[in-house]
Structure 1
Amino acid sequence: MSDRTFSLEEVIPVSSTIVDRTVSILDRTSNSEDQSFECSIEHLPFYRSVESDLLLMKQYLFKRGLNEHEIVSQEEIVINALKESLNQFIQIEKDKNDNLIITIDNIMNECDHLNHLLELEWTIEKPHDGLTIFEQMKRANNLLESSKHVLKTKTTEINELRIQEEKLCQKLNEAIVEFDNEDETPFARRKTVLENRIHDLTNFQVERSSHVKQYREQLHQMKIELELDNNYNLTADNSNDNNNIALLRLIDEPFETIELSKANVSNLQTLANELDARYQKNKTKGDQLVEQLTALYDRLNMNEIDQEIKLPIDNPHRPSNLIKLENEIERCKDIRRQNMKTYILNIREEIFVQYEKCFYSREQMELFQGLYSNVFNEETLEQHEKELEEMKTYYNRNEQIFIELHRWLDAWEEYKNAIIEEKERRHIETTLKKAQENVLTLADEYEQTHGHSFHVDGISIIDFFTHEKENYSQEKELEKARKQLARGQTPVLTNTQQSVKRQLAHTEVMKTPSKQQQPEVKPATPFRPSSAMSNKRFPPLQPQQNKVRLMEKNKKLYYHEKQSQVNCPYEKHDSILNQQDKEV
């Protein structure tokens, strides 16, 4: 055996260069961070095997005849190849670890993103570096799996809300909610926005459904009341055919199938308002025609046989009935022209009824010059109808005052004439006080509105109450004086009685004209019913009752003057009225 050969059993001398290189290989292949790795006992067989193989290779080279320099060069080639191979394996393992760490980082980033979107209850923490990479990977995957489970649940909720929203939007023709960046919008915010949107859409649906049902019912009713055809008398216009067809579908198709859009609701509302306006106009016209026809029947004294329309008529506002009413009114007007005098006299009686209801004085009645006229033509008729309408309007506007005034007068008559107990008298006094306060309050409001005081019998309401009470005091004193005379006693006149006596004496002087004094002659005028001239008040009479009352109490004067057309002074007129009151 040569000097370069050796066996495994014996110690083979190795040059210092080879030893150094061997140590160098060990140093370079060892983990610099863990120096204990090269000293591990389990690696010694490997190092010995490598060293043995290197020695064996040297023997082969030496035996082949290579010199030492060539052997060392070849040995370096082998050692470099071993080193490169080892470095490749090291790099492969290092890349694997790096890739695993990158994967873990990606998983943790995804968990962080999900945590931001889902707002999870737990905190996302990166696995501790002290753990192995596989353990870190396992914990990261578990965390990601839990987050994805929550994500799936939340996504299902959002999808269900989206479906609800889309259905409502389709029904209401509304736009769906759009997020600027939905993928980055937290689920809680998306859920809140969608729930609020669904709540608003639901309210819209309820509101619009209610309106549509209301308008549909109204339109169906208007179709009957206005006697419309199946097309609701919509105008035939080629440009609006599609709109009219769509509108008819909204009215007549099943409610569940129609779209509750703003435009549809608005179109239904517009049509309903138009038909309602037409209905209200017809209703007002129908009431006016009925009132006009009723007045014509009453003033013409037409019996039921002569009346072609039996009043009250059902549904006078319907177009067919309006035509009937108009035709009947025209027929009655023809009859009226043939009986103008009777017709105007009947209106005049109605005017007297209104004068009575409104507590008009004679002076106020005389302001209407038409009452003096004996000419019965269209102009006179128009004057009377205008006066009657004004008196009705005046009464209606101040009806509450007249009602309270009648309450006061009823209680006042009961207070003056009835023999009542003290308790009942106090009750009547309370009623009088309350009614008077109400009348004065309403009269103040009237004065503030119209700028002048409210008059009763031609005087202010305060003077009216004062005169009524003064007259009552005078009546009581005169009654007391009559009783004294009946007993043969000489009555003592109080200041009030003396004042009354002076007024009566003054009135008698004024009523007797002197030779130089000519009585003022005024046209003969109809007079106010005597009940209106006295202190007593009665509830408003019906036209027929008032007519009987006028004929019974006033025919000697009123109709005698009207037939003979004899003028008489107002003084004589007053004396006749006073004489009539005494007889009554």
Structure 2
Amino acid sequence: MKLPRQLDATQRSPHRRPIRAQSARILNRVTEQTAADREGDAPRLVASDSFSTSLLFFKNGDDAILTMRKSEVLAAEAVSCLNKALCHLKDIWEEIGIPEDQRLQRTNVVKNHIKGLLEMMIKEEESLKKRLVSSIQMCRTEMEQLCLDLQLPMFEEERGVTMLQQEKNIRTQTEALMKEKTRRMQQLKVLLEQEQDLCDILCSVPYGIAPDSVPSPEQLEDFCQHIANQSTEKAKRYAEFTDLKRQITSYMDELDHVPETSFEKDVVCEDEDSFCLSRDNITALKLLLCQLEERKADNEALCESHREKIQQLWERLQVPQEERGAFNEHMVASRKRNLEALHAEVQRLEELKLLNIRNVTDAIRSEIAALWEKCFFSAEQRQAFAAYHSEDFTEELLSRHDAEIQRLKQHHEDHKELFDGVHHWEESWRLFQELEKKATDPTRFTNRGGNLLKEEKQRSELHKSLPKLEKKLKAQIDAWEGDQGREFLVNGQKFLQYVEEQWELHRIEKEKEKLERQLKKSKQTEEDMLYGTAVRTPTKRRFLGTTTPNSKSRKFNATSSISSATSNSTMRSVYGGTVCRSPVPRPPLSANKGPAASGTPGVGKPPHPRLQGCNKENEAQSKGTPPLSGALLTPASPQRNFSIASVASTYSEFVRDLSKASNAKIQHDILNSTSSANL
């Protein structure tokens, strides 16, 4: 504070004393106040003209308790400082000798200065109060709006607090709500960006949440779940897209197809991450894949048709294998270049076919005949195709044959199930007849390896399965005839009639065989009655002993010879059932005493030439063919048995020794039989 400078003695105001008196009064009042402060009188308010404050002093007896705020203490100190300053100014003014009027002026300056300073301070504090009130109001309004945005209950303010505390509480709560709002909005922003990316890729509709509104926790959770579902859908569609793209690329490569449309270029040429995975695009991809599959199937079918045509033409034209082998590459693959090569080969072979019409027509006729057999065409049905017997080999005739073979193939394909069933029945029937014939063959018992048991088992199975197969075919034929409205013919007659005829023929054949066996048996019986019983079943030969027969056995043999000579004067050959009559006249009875009657075998006359020839014939039969049934085996004497057993080691030697023994004893037997007859 700048005080006016000190005046001279000549310039002193005449009113110096009043100013001094006024200053003295002010100083006295301050002094009294100070003294009162020192003496501790009853509380009273002391205020100067330039400063106003309040000091409260409470005194209760001897124990005085001073209760005041720190701010009030500081205010009291400020008043004290002011009083001291004024007293000091008073002293200075006294020493200087400033007149009273100037003191009054100076004191007024001090008062105005202090008053202005305090007013300025008060104004500032009032401004602070206004700001606090405004801040409270603004924070309260903002807090209410945040509670509405965040969908939270209103904040209840604490009662009985100061303005500063109230402003602090409201401001703190507002800041917390603002942070929550910022967090939610930031999370919403991130989710919206993710959703936008997914919507761009999937071409889907947005979730529908407003980007400016503050979402609730439930809305954020639902939105997060929606984003997760969209991400899963994206991964699913991406996997489906990559799989479809791989198949489409493979088909395009096989078909040598170049992408033409913008969609095909986007699928094949563009980056996979930039492709829009919308439902429409996925559907379009599937449609494109189906189209390519159909094109591939058409190409394969066309290639297969060309291959069949080429194979037929190769067979008809008798193309060498070397030329066929050079074309094997195109007989497997079905790419575009293979199709073009097959088409060119068909055209080449067609041109070559026209140059070899006769050979090709003959080849087609062979195929037609084979199809006639497969379709069981009768002679009338075959004669209906008159071009089959034409000798005018022209292109028109070839075309008619081609049309006929296509018709037959289609006919066979349409009724393939029935024809296969009939073929199966015929094969089973043929096998059944073969097994029936084998069952009547006597040589089947000599087979080894269990074939007899297998054949019997197979024959039994066929005997059971044939009626079942016929029943099944009957049901199929009835259904076919109901659909087609015509009869199903096999070789010009109904199949069931054909089956019945086959069974009837089989029965007649069995009856015929049975009758033949009966006739043969009766004839054999007549021969046996005429020529004697024959041993048909070969028996095991007993071991021939080496002992010399005694007289009883010789006597028994003689009796046997007499009885056999009585029944039949001729002797059958041991082999073949042929009857060998004695070529020599009967010798006299004295012939029994000759050397032929000796007991030593093998000693005597040589065999008769005719008997020797018969023995040679029998020996040849024993080596080549079995003996005829009906042969009568004459038992040999013990002497002959001894001779045969000691000499014969093989069947041929046995026959030879038996012939020799028979020739040696034949005359003796004849004489014995003659003498017995005479007796």
What TM-score comes out, normalization by structure 1 length? 0.54
CA contact (8 A) 2:149 2:213 kept: no
CA distance in 1, matches of 2:349, 2:356: 10
- 1:294 aligned partner, one-letter code: Q
1:226 aligned onto 2:262: no
Task: Give the CA deviation at 1:357.
Answer: 1.9
- Corresponding residue for residue 480 of structure 1: 514
Query: Counterpart of 1:203?
Result: 233
Q: How far, CA to CA, are the matches of 2:281 and 2:457 in structure 1?
A: 69
CA distance 1:109–1:268, change in 2 (3 Å):
closer
Conserved 8 A contact 1:169-1:201: no
What is the CA-CA distance between 1:358 and the residue it aligns to? Answer: 2.2
Q: What are the within-5 Å matches in structure 2 for residues 5-84 of structure 1?
A: none
Q: Which has the larger radius of gyration?
A: 2
1:192 aligned to 202, 218, 222, which one?
222
- Between the aligned partners of 2:458 and 2:169, the Cα distance in structure 1 is 101
Check if 1:318 corresponds to 2:335.
yes
Which residues in structure 2 correspond to 1:121-520 (within 5 Å)?
126=156, 154-179=184-209, 183=213, 186-189=216-219, 191-193=221-223, 195-196=225-226, 198-200=228-230, 202-204=232-234, 206-207=236-237, 209-223=239-253, 225-228=254-257, 232=258, 234=260, 244=262, 247-248=264-265, 250-261=267-278, 275-305=292-322, 307=324, 309-311=326-328, 313-315=330-332, 317-418=334-435, 419=439, 424-488=458-522
Contact 1:290–1:316 (CA under 8 A) maintained in structure 2: no
| Distance in 1 between residues matched to 2:305 and 2:245, nearest whole Å | 28
Query: Residue type matched to 2:424 in 1?
Result: R
Q: Given the superposition, is the C-alpha separation of residues 371 and 159 from structure 1 closer, same or farther in structure 2, using an over 3 Å criterion? A: same
Letter in 2 for 1:287: E
Q: 1:128 to 1:464 in 2, by over 3 A?
A: farther
Q: Which one has more relative contact order, counting CA pairs under 8 Å at least 6 apart?
A: 1
Which residue type is aligned with residue 398 of structure 1?
A: H
Give per-residue Cα distances to partners, 1:422-463, cap 9 Å, x unaligned.
755554355435544543444344334433343333333433
Question: Tell me, what secondary structure is at the counterpart of 1:183?
Answer: coil
3-state SS in 2 of match to 1:488: helix
Q: Is the 8 A contact 1:212 1:265 kept in 2?
A: no
RMSD over aligned CA atoms reads: 4.6
Hey, what does 1:548 align to over in structure 2? none
- Larger deviation, residues 429-438 vs 391-400: 429-438
Name the aligned partner's letter for residue 412 of structure 2.
Y
**Matched residue SS, 1:329:** helix
SS in 2 for 1:335: helix
Give secondary structure in 1 for the equivalent of 2:361.
helix
Letter in 1 for 2:338: N
Query: What residue in structure 2 maps to residue 567 of structure 1?
Result: none
Distance 1:354 1:482 in 2: 40
CA contact (8 A) 1:296 1:332 kept: yes
Change (3 A) 1:462 1:104: farther
Amino acid at match of 2:320: N
* TM-score for the superposition, normalised by structure 2: 0.47
Which amino acid counterpart does residue 510 of structure 2 have in structure 1? K
Distance in 2 (CA, whole Å) between partners of 1:435 and 1:390 is 28
Residue 172 of structure 1, CA deviation? 3.5
Distance 1:329 1:95 in 2: 103
**Deviations 1:542-584, CA, capped at 9 Å, x for gaps:** xxxxxxxxxxxxxxxxxxxxxxxxxxxxxxxxxxxxxxxxxxx
CA distance in 2: counterparts of 1:467 and 1:136, whole angstroms: 121
CA contact (8 A) 1:174 1:261 kept: yes
Percent same amino acid among aligned pairs? 22
Which amino acid in the other structure matches residue 147 of structure 2? C
Q: In 2 relative to 1, CA 355–133 (structure 1 residues): closer, same or farther, beyond 3 Å?
A: farther
Alpha-carbon distance in structure 1 between the residues aligned to 2:481 and 2:233: 50
Which residue of 147, 152, 155 corresponds with 1:111?
147
The residue type equivalent to 1:466 in the other structure is E
The answer (yes or no) to whether the contact 1:108–1:126 under 8 Å persists in 2 is no
Aligned to 1:179, what secondary structure does the other structure show? coil
| Offset of residue 266 of structure 1 | 6.3
Distance (Å, rounded) in 1 between the aligned partners of 2:136 and 2:298: 87
Measured after TM superposition, the shift of residue 219 of structure 1 is 3.2
How many angstroms apart in 1 are the aligned matches of 2:143 and 2:413?
88
What CA distance in whole angstroms lies between the structure 1 residues aligned with 2:359 and 2:483?
Answer: 39
The structure-2 alpha-carbon separation of the partners of 1:255 and 1:134, relative to structure 1 and needing over 3 Å to count, comes to same
Residue-pair matches, total: 390
Q: Is contact 2:150-2:214 (8 Å) kept?
A: no
Q: Who is 1:579 aligned against?
A: none
Structure 1 residues 168 and 484: CA distance shift in structure 2, 3 A: same
Moved more, 428-437 or 365-374: 428-437
Amino acid at match of 1:164: Q
- Point out where structure 1 has 5 or more consecutive residues left out of the alignment: 1-41, 43-88, 117-122, 235-242, 490-584
Task: Determine helix, strand or coil for the equivalent of 1:334.
Answer: helix
Secondary structure of 2:522's aligned partner:
coil
1:318: Cα distance to partner? Answer: 3.5
The structural deviation recorded for 1:347 is 0.6
The AA in structure 2 aligned to 1:332 is L
Name the structure 2 match of 1:86: none
CA distance in 1, matches of 2:380, 2:369: 13
The superposition leaves residues 486-535 of structure 1 with CA deviations (integer Å, 9 ceiling, x where unpaired) of 2238xxxxxxxxxxxxxxxxxxxxxxxxxxxxxxxxxxxxxxxxxxxxxx
CA 1:258 to 1:485, structure 2 compared with 1: closer, same or farther past 3 Å? same
1:107/1:206 CA distance change after superposition, 3 Å: same
Q: Is the 8 Å Cα contact of residues 405 and 435 (structure 1) preserved in structure 2?
A: no
Contact 2:181 2:214 in 1 (8 A): no
Moved more, 343-352 or 363-372: 363-372
Corresponding residue SS for 1:452: coil
Residue number in structure 2 paired with 1:505 = none
Compared CA separation, residues 206 and 389, structure 1 to 2 (3 A): same
- 8 Å CA contact 1:104–1:136 kept in 2: the answer is no
**Tell me, which stretches of 5 or more residues in structure 2 are unaligned?**
1-66, 68-124, 440-451, 524-679
Q: Which amino acid aligns with 2:150?
A: L
